[in-house]
Amino acid sequence: MNAPQPLVDIIAGARPNFMKIAPIIHAIQARQAQGSRLRFRLVHTGQHYDERMSGDFFTQLGIPLPDVNLEVGSGTQAEQTASILVRYEKLLLDARSDLCLVVGDVTSTMACAIAAQKLGVPVAHVEAGIRSGDWRMPEEINRMVTDSITNWFFTTSEVANNNLRRTGVPDDRIFFVGNTMIDTLLANLDRLRPPAFWADAGLQPGGYFVMTLHRPANVDDLSGFSRLLKAVGEAVRGVPVVFPVHPRTAKTLASLPDKPAGLLLVDPQPYLEFNHLVRHAKGVITDSGGVTEETTVLGVPCVTLRDSTERPETVTVGTNELIGTDPAALKPALDKLFAGQWKKGAIPEKWDGHTGARIAEELDRLLAG
Ligand code: UD1
């Protein structure tokens, strides 16, 4: 009889998923070359579909083309969840897998976990256990729902492990493996490259800020967003701010009566260009979670416009500081940065570039015996 060849569905749907799946795929491929019988099927839900939000990342990070694209596209939270549920369930009914591996906290993560677990397909969650405590963020709901129906938890921190233990998850289902997003960053450090506008804009290392904003709380309300941009303009002392504009943010920006001065508005950047910008920035202003992990590892000061974070180690160990969503807090934070008083930070435990390999090894042990 032939030995079993367990099939893992690797789910990706939105931009922050792509850098998290790349090292897992590469580690499985490396094990296959050594004789592992583990197979994977790459399922793209189609939540993000623009080249700049999706395709560019596959090309730059050497991710194979998806085996399946569910093509759900844009919609409300409920519409996207519903479409993914229906379409992924159909895929599993037509061709069942042995494990559904989801990463991060986007709508695709939660929806695929639900579809799989309801059909008795076990779920593994990479980046499990992190919590902001803020139920206004769709990502927090996605994390809680996903973790409540996950079989195997791959975690980035001891804080995440403890969050899971508190909800009754036994230790033998928690695997503290580190951070796959950091695997991707470290693997690509030597490939980072300036974007085409770098020279034309006269950018110099240490001579500009990078800003990313896309949380509904910061960008959906026109007057609030306008006040925020004005506060940024006043706090940066004439230093240019490179602002890659997320599609959600672009909609609000298009309705602003005056375009803010001092901001270099650019399209969403591909991975290698974006992280080149971050690596050489004087500082980063953001409301993203993932970016705070990258700035921590790159040692770049990071000002986060949020009240809470699901990644507390970026603050307690790294270079990140939470200043809340009141634009008035920007100036004192940047004054500290200009005065050279920003904390130096260190790198959290196991954020060492080997997380994908640890995950693939566990998957092999769990599934292929
Ligand atoms: C999603 C994730 C968020 C992540 C972010 C990164 C959820 C709940 N949120 O938020 O955690 O940080 O991605 O980008 O899953 N759009 C395009 N082109 C695309 C994709 C989206 O134009 O390729 C537009 C949509 O039409 C929509 C807006 O961008 O108007 C928001 O997209 P959506 O997928 O709903 O959520 P994000 O805000 O991107």
- At 168-227, the pLDDT tens digits run 999 999 999 999 999 999 999 999 999 999 999 999 999 999 999 999 889 999 999 999
Taking CB atoms and a 6 Å cutoff, what residues make up the pocket around ligand 1?
14-16, 47-50, 53-54, 74, 106-107, 138-139, 214, 246-248
> Would you say residue 195 lies in a domain?
yes
Query: Distance (Å, rounded) from C-alpha 94 to C-alpha 114?
Result: 17
Both 20 and 67 in one domain: the answer is yes
Q: Does residue 139 surpass a pLDDT of 70?
A: yes
> Would you say residue 74 lies in a domain?
yes
Q: How far is the CA of 14 from the centre of ligand 1 (A)?
A: 7
Q: Which of 44, 214, 246, 276 is catalytic?
A: 214
Q: How many domains, in total, are found in the chain? A: 2
Tokens 């943010």 belong to: 249
CATH value at residue 295:
3.40.50.2000
Contact 302, 295 (CB under 8 A): yes
* Mutation pick for ligand 1 pocket among 70, 130, 135, 214 (CB with most ligand atoms within 8 Å): 214
Q: What is the DSSP letter of 305?
A: -
**Residue 304 phi/psi, 5° resolution?**
-105, 125
| Dihedral sign (CA 100, 104, 106, 110) | positive
Query: Distance (Å, rounded) from C-alpha 81 to C-alpha 70?
Result: 12
Count how many Cα atoms sit within 13 Å of the Cα of residue 65 in the half-sphere of its side chain.
0
Whether 276 is catalytic is: no
Q: What is the DSSP letter of 58?
A: H
Q: How far is the CA of 192 from the centre of ligand 1 (A)?
A: 24
Both 107 and 140 in one domain: the answer is yes
Given this model, what pLDDT does residue 1 score? Answer: 54
Q: What is the pLDDT of residues 334-343, one digit of tens each?
A: 999 999 999 9
Structural domain of residue 266, as residue ranges? 190-338
Both 165 and 213 in one domain: the answer is no
Tokens 């793209």 belong to: 44
> Would you say residue 174 lies in a domain?
yes
> Would you say residue 331 lies in a domain?
yes
Tokens 């409540």 belong to: 148
| Atom 2, ligand 1: residue with shortest CA distance | 106
Three-class DSSP category at 357: helix
Tokens 């260009």 belong to: 273
Q: How far is the CA of 288 from the centre of ligand 1 (A)?
A: 12
Q: Does residue 244 surpass a pLDDT of 90?
A: yes
Contact 212, 290 (CB under 8 A): no
Query: Atom of ligand 1 at shortest distance to CA of 52?
Result: 23
pTM: 0.97
| Atom 28, ligand 1: residue with shortest CA distance | 248
Q: What is the pLDDT of residues 87-126, one digit of tens each?
A: 999 999 999 999 999 999 999 999 999 999 999 999 999 9
> Would you say residue 185 lies in a domain?
no
